Amino acid sequence: MIRLLYISHAVPNLTIEDVRAILKSSRKNNKAADITGVLVHGGGMFMQILEGEESAVLRLYLTIIADKRHINPRLVVVAPTADRLFQKWSMGNVECAPNEFEQIVQARSRRLEASNTDAFAGFAFEFAKMLFDQAPQE
């Protein structure tokens, strides 16, 4: 099993209905493919964690990066894992305040400058989990 994390920019005209449509497709498709994770959205950015069987996650990632509802996807980390962080969620959703996203993007730049991608990934997973645990669940 692997866990993958990427960040992207939402297209400027993205609507809340677009995000709802993404979540609807995600929940349907991810359940069928046994993929779990969370989609964080806010301040014109997306951050998504996908976890599941390697080929299923990579196939989905290729579909997602071709999606015109976002641009400039940047793969932050992909790593083997024995367990899931979001085991109950075919795709959890968190709306994130722009300044919170700012924190994570700045942290990414700092960590990458220090060539410490693992540390950044740990930070990002914790950050997403923390946001997710605090958010009202649907």
Q: Does 22 bind ligand FAD (CB under 6 A)?
A: yes
Rounded to whole angstroms, the Cα distance separating 71 from 91 reads: 20
Q: 62 pairs with which residues across the strands?
A: none
Q: Does 29 bind ligand FAD (CB under 6 A)?
A: yes
Q: Does 5 bind ligand FAD (CB under 6 A)?
A: no
Measured from the Cβ of residue 112, the count of other Cβ atoms closer than 10 Å reads 13
Closer to ligand FAD by Cβ: residue 63 or 106: 63
Give the neighbor-by-neighbor strand order of the sheet with 70-80: 70-80, 2-10, 45-52, 36-42, 92-95
Token readout for 112 is: 């990458």
Q: What is the closest distance, in whole angstroms, from the C-beta atom of residue 6 to ligand FAD in the complex?
A: 9
Rounded to whole angstroms, the Cα distance separating 45 from 101 reads: 8
Q: Does 36 bind ligand FAD (CB under 6 A)?
A: no
Closer to ligand FAD by Cβ: residue 7 or 121: 7
Rounded to whole angstroms, the Cα distance separating 89 from 107 reads: 26
Tell which one of 55, 63, 109, 116 touches ligand FAD (CB under 6 A): 63
Tell which one of 30, 40, 101, 131 touches ligand FAD (CB under 6 A): 30
Q: Does 116 bind ligand FAD (CB under 6 A)?
A: no
Give residues in contact with ligand FAD (CB under 6 A).
8, 21-22, 25-26, 28-30, 39, 46, 48, 60, 63-64, 67-70, 91
